[in-house]
Amino acid sequence: MSIEIGDYPKNVEKAVRQFWKSRKGATSKQLESGKADEGNRSAVTGGKNLDGFADLLIELVKKNGLKDAEIHSSSTTLPGYFRATKDWDLLITYQGKLIAAIELKSLCAPSVGKNLNNRVEEALGLGIDFQVAAREKAFGAGAPPFTAYLMVLEDEEQSHKVREARSPHFAADEVFQSSSYATRLEIMCERMMREQLFDSACVITSTQKSRGRFNDLSDATSMKVFLGAFAACIAKASLS
């Protein structure tokens, strides 16, 4: 079974440029209307900033043989187990079966530290809820659908500053000692895959002035591996 991820560095850079352009546009629009949110929330609430990454994944669906798949980027609600429903960012269905569910997230200054634990809790809750729902056949019989998680982290000083993991009663995991927020996200993604909460989890960093350039934090959580896993899932579904 061959897979196709195309000229992925070029395509990812395009998605990154769209991400920063969308955030900047959302902030400018709200400032002009006089209704800007506090902090950087105006950049977050202005629309789907990660649509470029969704477009990239949609193109891989076509390239890997599932041309008749149904792509869902607006109607993306799935049943849960511990909660009634959850909206995902992108769903792929084919012949009435759920093939893949994708979650796209970002963390940007100045609220990286403030929101990191929230992002971790959201990801863990999503992964656990989905896996149990799949076990209970919430998505029908057959193999569990492919799940993927992507995080775009702003590459700035606060993201890479070394921090201590303070825990007064019991020692925190040594891996988190003297680690940065970026490293902690990398650890989260690697462990979510290890514990089979997500089939693939990726974290990349980029700056607003990067012109689309991005950096992987590890091979396991790299964009190439992430896209390859997704493409393999689609190619496998096309053969079934």
pTM (2 decimals)?
0.90
Residues with Cβ within 8 Å of residue 212, at least 6 apart in sequence: 12, 13, 14, 16, 17, 206
Mean pLDDT per 10-residue interval, the chain, length 240 residues: 91 96 69 46 52 96 94 95 97 96 95 92 98 96 94 95 92 93 97 98 95 96 98 93
Residue 216 lies in a domain: yes
Question: Residue 110 is encoded by which pair of tokens?
Answer: 């100045």
Residue 3 lies in a domain: no
Residue 1 lies in a domain: no
Strands 85-87 and 90-94: unpaired
Residue 80 lies in a domain: yes
Give the range of the structural domain holding residue 132, as residue numbers without chain letter.
8-239
- Residue 142 burial (10 A CB sphere; 0-12, 13-18, 19+): exposed
Residue 145 lies in a domain: yes
Residue 112 lies in a domain: yes
The predicted pLDDT at position 39 comes to 42
Residue 99 lies in a domain: yes
- 189 three-state secondary structure: helix
Question: Residue 61 is encoded by which pair of tokens?
Answer: 């669906």
In angstroms and rounded to an integer, the radius of gyration of the C-alpha atoms of the chain is: 18
The predicted pLDDT at position 5 comes to 96
- Residue 32 burial (10 A CB sphere; 0-12, 13-18, 19+): exposed
- Residue 193 burial (10 A CB sphere; 0-12, 13-18, 19+): buried
Is-cis flag, bond preceding 79, omega within 30? no
Distance CA 228, CA 225 (A): 5
The predicted pLDDT at position 76 comes to 96
The predicted pLDDT at position 226 comes to 98
Domain total of the chain:
1
The predicted pLDDT at position 29 comes to 53
Residue 2 lies in a domain: no
